[in-house]
């Protein structure tokens, strides 16, 4: 994996930080720092905090300030203002489930690296036309899974993906074996019951197992 620092990341670098990017939903911002520390200690420095709860932006701010080894990003970026607010909160990267020209322009304007979401060949081609080669493939399993991504490899050799959505410990290695997959996104690393109970040892162990999925 890369040893790139958060300040000089590119879109493509995001795919090489770790084999798995945890996709985190936080209801309580007080859980953000110990959770991030557990993930980092387990070997997963890149953490995507989804903008699905009121705690998300404060959690990003706290992780950015208190867990220096974490590379915290914002996920579920669906509006231009989401990109702007995430950058102001301290996010180091952005992830969107889909992409429109307006949303893309807003993410570019932040100066942060980002993974725009695609689910079809046409969407991937549109991003390639703009020079963007690193993308999120979402919802991975529902959109065709490993077979679909393998099929895209021939006509779109420059596109590389982070599949997310239905990726599990049981199929993550199969995705990572594809040459056009740099990493996967997964929500299994931070089970809700473990987060609520403060079971950071469990999360650390899940992260260590996921980190061991790295190629080679």
Which residues are part of the catalytic machinery? 48, 136
Strand runs labelled E in 54-208:
71-75, 93-95, 114-115, 117-118, 134-137, 160-163, 184-186
B/e letters for 125-135, b = 16+ CB within 10 Å, e = fewer, are ebbeeeebbbb
The two tokens of residue 61 are 């701010």
The length of the chain is 216
Backbone angles phi, psi at 12, to 5 degrees: -65, -35
The two tokens of residue 130 are 């703009």
Write the CB contacts of 15 (distance below 8 Å, at least 6 apart in sequence): 115, 134, 160, 161, 162, 182, 183
The two tokens of residue 56 are 């998300």
Tally of CB atoms within 10 A around 69:
11
Helices 32-41 & 56-66 angle (0-180, nearest 10): 50
């Amino acid at each position: 994996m890369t040893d790139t620092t958060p300040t000089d990341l590119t879109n493509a670098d995001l795919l090489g930080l770790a084999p798995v990017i945890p996709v985190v939903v936080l209801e309580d911002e007080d859980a953000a720092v110990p959770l991030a520390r557990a993930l980092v200690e387990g070997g997963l420095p890149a953490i995507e905090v989804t903008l699905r709860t009121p705690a998300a932006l404060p959690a990003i701010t706290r992780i950015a300030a208190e867990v220096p080894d974490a590379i915290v990003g914002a996920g579920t970026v669906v509006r231009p203002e989401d990109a702007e607010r995430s950058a102001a909160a301290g996010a180091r990267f952005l992830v969107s489930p889909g992409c429109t020209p307006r949303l893309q322009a807003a993410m570019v304007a932040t100066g942060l690296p980002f993974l725009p979401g695609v689910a079809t060949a046409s969407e991937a081609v549109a991003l390639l036309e703009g020079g963007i080669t690193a993308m999120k493939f979402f919802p991975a399993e529902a959109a065709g899974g490993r077979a679909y991504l393998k099929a895209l490899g021939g006509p779109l050799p420059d596109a590389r993906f982070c599949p997310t959505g239905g990726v599990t410990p049981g199929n993550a290695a199969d995705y990572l074996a594809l040459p056009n997959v740099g990493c996967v996104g997964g929500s299994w690393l931070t089970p809700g019951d473990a987060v609520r109970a403060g079971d950071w040892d469990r999360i650390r162990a899940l992260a260590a197992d996921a980190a061991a999925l790295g190629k080679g």
